[in-house]
Structure 1
Amino acid sequence: MRAAPLTGSGIRGPALAAGDPVVLVAHGSRDPRAAEATRALARAVAAARPGVAVSASWLDHTDPGPTEALRSLAAAGHPRAVLVPLLLTAAYHRRVDVPAAVAAARESGPPIDVRVSDVLGPADGVVDGALLAGLRRRLAEADPGRFDALVLAAAGTRDPRARGS
C-alpha cells in the first residue's frame, strides 16, 4: 500500500474523514490461501490504523465482493468509505470492475460516498518506492545469488496503458 496517508493524492472521490472505513479489494483466486493472505493484510492495515474499520473483498472466487462490502458499511451507517484495489496495474479490473462495483453499491441500499485509491503498482508511470522496497525484500529472501537468472512474472492484460506502466 502507498506510504502516503489515505487522504493523499492517490485517492479519488468525495472527501474522506479520518475514521472512514477501508475496503481492500483483491482479484481473488480459487486457492483459499490467497483469500487468507488478503484477510491477513486487512488485519495488518487495521492494526496500523487503530479505530479504522478495515475489511477485505474480492472481485472473483471469494465473497464478499466490493459491492456487498460497501453495501454492508452503508447499512451499518457509514456515510463514506475508501476502496483500495490490491492490483498491480490500472488495467481492466481497475478501470471497469472496480468502478462498476462502486456504482452498484451507490445504486441500491443506503447512500455511501466512496473514494477509490490508485492501484499498488505504477500510477501515472511511477512505481511507488514502498512497492519496490517490498520486492527487494522478497528477492533477498529468495537468495537470488544462487541462480543464473530471475523472472518476475505477473498476469497479463490487453490494455496497452497498463502494459506501458
Structure 2
Amino acid sequence: MTTALILFAHGARDPEWANPMRRVQAVIRQRMTTVPVELAFLEFMAPTLTDCAAGLIAQGADKIVVMPMFVARGGHLKKETPEMLAALRASYPHVEFSLGNAIGEHELVVQAMATAALEVAGL
C-alpha cells in the first residue's frame, strides 16, 4: 500500500499566506523522504483537495491521509470536508481516504502556541 499525505489548508487571496504551510510541507518531506506530501487548499488557492488527490492517485497512492491544517474544527471541517471526501471515495473506491483532526487541536500544537505566545509577550 502506498500512503500519501495531503496537508489541507484553508487558502487565502494573498499568496504569501501559504508560506508557513509550505514550510511544514518541506519539513515533513525532509523527515519522510519516501512519503508523498502535498499541500491542497479549500479555497482561493490551487491545487484543490480533489486535484491534489487525483495527482497522488495517478502516481500510485492507494491510501491518502488528509491532515487539516486548521486551528480548530469549524464549519469547513464539519460539513464541507466530509462532503469532499465522500465525493473522492465515490470517484476512487479503490483508494482509502482518512481525515485527521484539525492540527490546532492536537495537544503538541496547543502547547507550542502557548509557549510562543508567552515568549513573544516576554513572559
Q: Which category describes the TM-score, using the shorter chain as reference length?
A: 0.7 to 0.9
TM-score, length-scaled by structure 2: 0.85
> Does 58-67 or 129-138 show the bigger shift?
129-138
Q: CA RMSD in A?
A: 2.0
One-letter code of the match for 1:88? V
Greater helix fraction, Structure 1 or Structure 2: 2
> Does 132-141 or 82-91 show the bigger shift?
132-141
- 1:33 equivalent in structure 2: 16
Q: Measure how far apart 1:109 and its partner are.
A: 5.7
| Number of residue equivalences | 123
**Which residues of structure 2 form unaligned runs of 5+?**
none
- 2:108 equivalent in structure 1: 130
- 1:50 equivalent in structure 2: 33
Pick from 68, 74, 77: which aligns with 1:85?
A: 68
TM-score, length-scaled by structure 1: 0.66
Q: Distance in 1 between matches of 2:55 and 2:88?
A: 9
- SS across alignment from 2:104: coil
Alignment of 1:5-24 (within 5 A): 20-24=3-7
Q: Structure 1 residue 143 and structure 2 residue 121: aligned?
A: yes
**Which residues of structure 1 form unaligned runs of 5+?**
1-16, 123-127, 146-165
Pick from 78, 81, 97: which aligns with 1:98?
A: 81
